[in-house]
A and B are shown apart, each in its own frame.
Chain A
Amino acid sequence: MKGVEVYVEGITKKYGSTTALDGVTLRIPPSEITTLLGPSGCGKTTLLKIIAGLEPPTKGRVYFDGRDVTNLAPEKRNIGFVFQDLALFPHLNVFENVAFGLRVRRVPEAEVKKRVYWALDLVGLDPSEFARRRIHELSGGQQQRVAIARALVIEPAVLLLDEPFAHLDYKIKQRLLLQLKRIQRETGATVVYVTHDQNEAMAVSHKIAVMNNGKILQVGSPEEVYEKPNSSFVASFFGEANVLPGEGGFIVIRPERVLINPDRADTVYDAYIEDVVFQGPLLHIEARVNGKIIKIIKPRNGMVVKPGDKVRIGWLQKDVRVVPE
């Protein structure tokens, strides 16, 4: 299966006086995972619904592989949608939930069974154990898998996921994220993944679009966005960052790039260690420079600093990023 390329062009969406999306243009490459990352209320769900055809845009167009689908009904777009609240059908069992999209397409019964079992296997649910279960007899993580299987079984050209793992425990979430990546590789679908969690975004994405206030601020691979944030908002929202006033706006320096007692650095300050927190193999250090806190992250081995220590901190110019706002 080959996913489609999704292109949204100049999308604006207004709800009364609220502007949920403000002139959003984004190219979503085929057969990759693109993440919409941004704080709650920034318009992620709205953009997903417009791609799915569940809401009409106030302005702008949506294209699938160059074809204008702006006015196409959702059922004709060949999409899969995993809703934030899952929206599983309580009156149907697991098998019939997953089979729903095949039945409305009038797929022959033998083929339905084959593909439902394939989809359940794909998401890691043993069909012989789960096919006949009722939805309310499943755990949260199992329901999440059913929702993904239901969206996948129709082999959608685009799979849209709206914060599908938001309410799950950390461990289950990690496992499902890995599974999602594997499923995407195996099916070749275009995946649009929505989250407000930067760790999920880093774990899953080929490409990240950082959103705020109905606008897309930056698009790029996780490495690009992390290394070259184009604004202090992106720098702080995606990864930890020290944002300091500087020439022509602000300078951004990542905590792991701050050096302690460096032999060689382009910028050096005298600092006091305020706080040291153990986080597994890493130390999260807070240092005070001229009344301002600088966040530092260092591997634990060999690092001996403690609160109250007087140190010099600094960084190399190549590790500094200047942003206009």
Chain B
Amino acid sequence: MKLLKYYTYALIAMLYIPIIVMILYSFDNSKYFGEWNGFTLRWYEQLLHDTQAWSALKNSMVVAVLSAVISTAIAIPAALMARDREKDIVSLMIYPPVIIPEITEAVALMLLLIYLGFPLGLVSVLIGHTAFNIAYAYIALSPVGGTGARLAVAARTLGADRFTAFLKVTIPVSMPGIIAALGLTFMMSFTDFIKTLFTKGPGFDTLPILVWNRARRPGLTPYTSQPAIAALATTLILISIAIALAYTLYEVRRSEKQGEL
């Protein structure tokens, strides 16, 4: 049993050590990774004036927000389908994108976009993200979808028309699932690298792409020194943690009010 305990500790250490080391070196007053020259915030100050990073953050946000909203909106009607047999078929069709290797999806997307002669840029990246996010949104919504549809029927027996039932019952009842779907798809999109790389045009960078561009050719400019890259990557982690935390807080408060789903 003791062995198992140490094994678990070692496992957790392996998960976190690289990230902790990276975060530490983002505060390192040196141009090179691994050479500790004292604490500094200069890499973060530098980020504030880094127009490339700001533009990449804006691109990431725009793509992630739009993709989350669009994919969730598209997935809601599918998740609400009340009839179980049809629902089973939809569920069966919707899972494969989740298990197909991302690189395959990315290549397939790229080939299709080139075949169609579609201009590569924000819109192509958005389409790519959204197409696959629909599957994740559906999965996040399906636990509440059946309930939402069932309760809408109850609302109609009480005199509500279809639209009122949808607005006053289905949407609020499905809200935990909608929030989960928005959060999940936002994160999938915000942190995506491979699909973005294959569907973006020249000059359109998201944060993960910028990290990659700089990390593979480090050290040439102040922005591409190793601690500067560490600071940029740490920022990316902080944004992700903030969103996950906001979601957790929402879910805790909701379940206190409404009970477990």
Task: Report how far A250 CA is from B34 CA in the complex, Å.
Answer: 96
Question: B159 near A81 (CB under 8 angstroms)?
Answer: no
Contact with B along A234-246 (1 / 0, CB 8 A): 0000000000000
Question: A104 near B258 (CB under 8 angstroms)?
Answer: no
Task: Report how far A151 CA is from B169 CA in the complex, Å.
Answer: 16
Name the A residues within 8 Å of B156 (CB-CB).
54, 73-75
Using known A-B contacts A134-B257, A134-B259, A136-B258, determine if residue A87 contacts B151 with beta carbons closer than 8 Å. yes
Task: Report how far A21 CA is from B158 CA in the complex, Å.
Answer: 25
Question: B173 near A87 (CB under 8 angstroms)?
Answer: no
Name the A residues within 8 Å of B153 (CB-CB).
54, 87
Q: 8 Å CB contacts to A: which residues of B145-162?
A: 150-151, 153-161
Task: Report how far A136 CA is from B261 CA in the complex, Å.
Answer: 10
Question: B150 near A89 (CB under 8 angstroms)?
Answer: no
Chain B min CB distance to A80 (Å): 7
Question: B157 near A74 (CB under 8 angstroms)?
Answer: yes
Main secondary structure of the interface of B (DSSP, over half): helix
Q: 8 Å CB contacts to B: which residues of A77-115?
A: 78-81, 83, 85, 87, 89-91, 100-101, 104-105
Q: 8 Å CB contacts to B: which residues of A51-71?
A: 52, 54
A92 nearest in chain B by CB position: B172
Using known A-B contacts A89-B169, A90-B173, A136-B259, determine if residue A54 contacts B157 with beta carbons closer than 8 Å. yes
Chain A min CB distance to B87 (Å): 15
Name the B residues within 8 Å of A44 (CB-CB).
none
- A154 on interface, CB distance cutoff 8 Å: yes
| Residue among A83, A104, A135 making CB contact with B154, cutoff 8 Å | A83
Question: B159 near A73 (CB under 8 angstroms)?
Answer: no
Q: 8 Å CB contacts to B: which residues of A264-310?
A: none
- A150 on interface, CB distance cutoff 8 Å: yes
Name the B residues within 8 Å of A101 (CB-CB).
158-159
Question: B259 near A100 (CB under 8 angstroms)?
Answer: no
Range class of the B interface residue count: 20 to 34
Task: Report how far A90 CA is from B168 CA in the complex, Å.
Answer: 12
Question: B159 near A89 (CB under 8 angstroms)?
Answer: no
Range class of the A interface residue count: 20 to 34
Question: A91 near B154 (CB under 8 angstroms)?
Answer: no
Name the B residues within 8 Å of A78 (CB-CB).
159
Task: Report how far A104 CA is from B161 CA in the complex, Å.
Answer: 9
Name the A residues within 8 Å of B260 (CB-CB).
136
Name the A residues within 8 Å of B158 (CB-CB).
75, 80, 100-101, 104, 150-151, 154
Question: A134 near B258 (CB under 8 angstroms)?
Answer: yes
- B175 on interface, CB distance cutoff 8 Å: yes
- B213 on interface, CB distance cutoff 8 Å: no
B161 nearest in chain A by CB position: A75
- B164 on interface, CB distance cutoff 8 Å: yes
Name the A residues within 8 Å of B257 (CB-CB).
134
| Residue among B151, B160, B259 making CB contact with A104, cutoff 8 Å | B160
Task: Report how far A74 CA is from B158 CA in the complex, Å.
Answer: 8
Q: 8 Å CB contacts to B: which residues of A121-135?
A: 134-135
| Residue among B173, B175, B259 making CB contact with A89, cutoff 8 Å | B173
Name the A residues within 8 Å of B160 (CB-CB).
75, 100, 104
Name the B residues within 8 Å of A79 (CB-CB).
157
Name the B residues within 8 Å of A81 (CB-CB).
154, 157
Contact with A along B27-57 (1 / 0, CB 8 A): 0000000000000000000000000000000
Q: 8 Å CB contacts to B: which residues of A148-203?
A: 150-151, 154
Chain B min CB distance to A91 (Å): 5
Question: B175 near A91 (CB under 8 angstroms)?
Answer: yes
Chain A min CB distance to B116 (Å): 40
Question: B259 near A90 (CB under 8 angstroms)?
Answer: yes
Contact with A along B244-261 (1 / 0, CB 8 A): 000000000000011110
Question: B258 near A100 (CB under 8 angstroms)?
Answer: no
Please list 19 pairs of residues, one from A and one from B, whose beta carbons are closer than 8 Å in the complex, sorted by A's number. A54-B156, A75-B157, A75-B161, A79-B157, A83-B154, A85-B150, A87-B150, A87-B151, A87-B153, A89-B154, A89-B169, A89-B173, A90-B173, A90-B258, A91-B172, A104-B158, A134-B257, A134-B259, A137-B259
Q: What 9 A-B pairs come out closest when comparing CB atoms? A: A136-B259, A101-B158, A87-B154, A81-B157, A91-B172, A104-B160, A74-B156, A104-B159, A75-B159
A-side interface residues toward B, CB under 8 Å? 52, 54, 73-75, 78-81, 83, 85, 87, 89-91, 100-101, 104-105, 134-137, 150-151, 154
- Known interface pairs A75-B158, A150-B158; 5 further A-B residue pairs with C-beta atoms within 8 A, sorted by A's residue number: A52-B157, A90-B259, A91-B258, A100-B158, A104-B159
